Structure formats: C-alpha cells, structure tokens
Amino acid sequence: MCGRFAVTLPNDAMAQLFSARPANALPTVPNFNVCPTNQVHVVRGGDSGRRLDALRWGFLPHWYKTQTAGPLLINARAETLAEKPAFRDACRSRRCLIVATGFYEWTKTDEGTRLPWYIHRRDGAPIAFAGIWQDWGVDENRQGTCAIVTTTANENLGTIHHRMPLILEPEHWSLWLGEAGKGAARLMQPGAEDVLTFHRVDPVVNSNRASGPDLIKPLHE
C-alpha cells in the first residue's frame, strides 16, 4: 500500500538524476503531502529518450466513462499486474518511474488511533517507485494517469504494513522502462532489507490538507 508520499527534489535536479527531458508544466515542489488524484512526477521512456512528465495519481482504465466510474486505482499489485484487465496492457508496454523522497504508512493502536510513519531511503537518495500509466479521456479532457506497483512487504517494513511499494534501484530503471529489453517481471519482489528506514511523525499528517516540512520530522513523544 502507498497512499501518500512526499517529494522535495527540485524539478531540474529530478530531470538530471533520471536523464530525462522535463515537461513544461510539472508539479510544484517541495510537496510534503502528495495525495491521490494529485499530479505527480513520472519518468517515462520513449523513442526520443526519457521524459519527466506530470500525471494524475489514480489510474483510469479506458472503460471508465468518468473519473469516478469505478474504484480509485492508486496502487497495482505486482502479483496480479499482468492478469488484471485494468493493468494488463500497461504492465507490458506502459511502465514508468514515479518519483518521491519518502512515503507515509499507518499503524493502529488497540484503541484504533492511527499512528503515521514516514519511510525513506537510508542513504537519503530519492525514491523511484515502479509505476504503470494510462492515457484516459478524449479531446481537451485527455490526461495521463498512473498507479504505483506494490509487493508483499519485506521483514523490515512488515512491522508497519503487510504491503510496500515496489522501489527500483538505479541499475534497474532501464529494465523497468523497457529500455534494456525484456525481463522486468523479475524486478517485482520486495526490496532489500537495508534500503529503507522509518520514524514516527506527527498525526497532523493524517489530514490530506496538512502541509509543510514538519510533516516528515521525527515525532518526539
């Protein structure tokens, strides 16, 4: 599961990191509370090289007549990605990288209180989520949409949640984007145990309207 994340890398640095040509209109950074249906930074491959684009976070299958015609598809399970009608074609030919700095997950107390955690790379590098994308709509309403691929959590993150986003190392970006031939399916497994670390953060982030750098600061109880 990945339902909220943060992105702080400047757009030009993001384009340089991924060797991608940036689109003219990209989401504003930093954003410490990226929510479903927001525009997000996405790296896609193409005949003329990689592009850094803005896509709607919330995959819209072509048969949706409206944006709310079915479930909000922000995540796509790696285990069924190649079989689900909504994701099958995208899995084969429309894979992307979704850029983040870290993401949030929640645990619950026995009383049902939601406790937020901020999860980020131990080495401080940006995160590249494995994603899939789909163009949806017609004429002036046409837009690009995307979802984050998830896997079973590794032991490290399993203490917080049973699912985790699929995070790709730089040496695997080309394979996922289809630039290095076939075989991307072998990447769809939990990441190494030592890649991510996490800490509790203030419950103010439980609101999707919260903003600012304090959202990712460690909570001192």
Active site residues: 2, 105
* Longest Cα separation, the chain: 54
H-assigned helices in the chain: 11-17, 88-93, 155-158, 173-176
Residue 76 burial class via C-beta count within 10 angstroms: exposed 0-12, middle 13-18, buried 19 and up: buried
The residues pairing with 203 across neighbouring beta strands, listed in sequence order, are none
- Identify the sign of the CA torsion 16, 19, 25, 28: negative
Question: What is the DSSP secondary structure assignment for residue 219, as one 8-state letter?
Answer: P
Pair of tokens at residue 129? 């989520």
